[in-house]
Chain A
Amino acid sequence: MWKWLHPYAKAETAYNLCYRLLPYFSWLAAITLIAGSIWGLLYAPSDYQQGDSFRIIYFHVPTAIWSMGAYTSMAICGLIGIVWQIKNAELAVYAMAPVGAAFTFLALVTGAVWGKPMWGAWWVWDARLTSELILLFLYLGVIALYNSFEDKRTAARAASILAIVGVVNVPIIHYSVEWWNTLHQGASITKFDKPSISPDMLWPLLLNIAGFLFIFAAIVCLRLANQILINDARRPWVKALVEQSSTESTSSVKGKHNAV
């Protein structure tokens, strides 16, 4: 039943799949992000309390959602890598970490810029903000741990374990606004009853949430392909790629120097 999946554990197949998926993700990301941002910034109605400052929501909420989504998928890849010893999953952990870290950073920064006019403070040490900051440190820890081992299999295993252990932080971030008193508002879309946000404001938000997911997928495709190349550097298919790239870029130079 799952046999069709097996070839994708092979490095070259996964590498080619990354580049086959890349244009779809890139175009979807470009379309949804441009449409969602323009719609949200210029056409969505102003908030009755926050005026136009609420428009930061169109960047704050998507980056915050996918900072947690990226971490969860990274941890799942780490688990797959450790349990089934699938090398591509280990490489995916390292491919996802910088993108997730960037999203977390953006969620924190846009949150601070939104908090200043609305709360009167760039930063408060409440549960939501602090746990999101810890998420950023977890991402940086995964990246640093991966880079601190010469042997990349050991590096990937250590980074995967940190990613798996750190996943405990994700539900803490999500429920922090319910468990503790906070300045941060609760969820507006992911409530089980009707979302408590006007559809005119909701649609561009959903577009940008989709957009950030697609751009995450596109960037991870690029970075994963690159990790596969590095990991398979001694394999014939990578050597062929290197040869091909050298004949493309330096054919004229080589022709001069190699004349015997």
Chain B
Amino acid sequence: MQFNSFSEVLAMGGYGAYVWSSVAIVFAVLLMLIVHSCTAKNRTLRLLRIEQERAEKISQAKVANAQALFDKR
């Protein structure tokens, strides 16, 4: 270890603000990227499910409509 105490680690020889802010930015951006990428699959599946259910409802309504027309005659 290059440092003798925790406060020395924080100070980074006087450059603490620069070193630790760049570390924070790097891991914050990586974390955002990881979270956004991990949740992408669920977002896509939810979107496709909504689309599929709508398509199903529309086709069911069409069948019902045709049946009603047929019954009227």
Contacts and interface: CB of A to CB of B under 8 A. Distances in A.
The secondary structure that dominates the A interface is: helix
A98 B33 CA distance: 8
Given A43-B1, A52-B12, A55-B19, A239 B25 contact: no
Interface in B52-72: 52
Contacts of B15: 51-53, 117
A21 to B, nearest CB: 14
A87 interface: no
B18 A116 contact: yes
Interface of A: 37, 41-46, 51-53, 55-56, 59-60, 63, 98-99, 102, 105-106, 109-110, 113-114, 116-117, 215, 219, 222-223, 225-226, 229-230, 233, 238-239, 241-243, 245-246
Contacts of A105: 29
B41 A55 contact: no
Contacts of B37: 219, 222-223, 226
Nearest to A51: B13
B12 A110 contact: no
A45 B14 contact: no
B5 interface: no
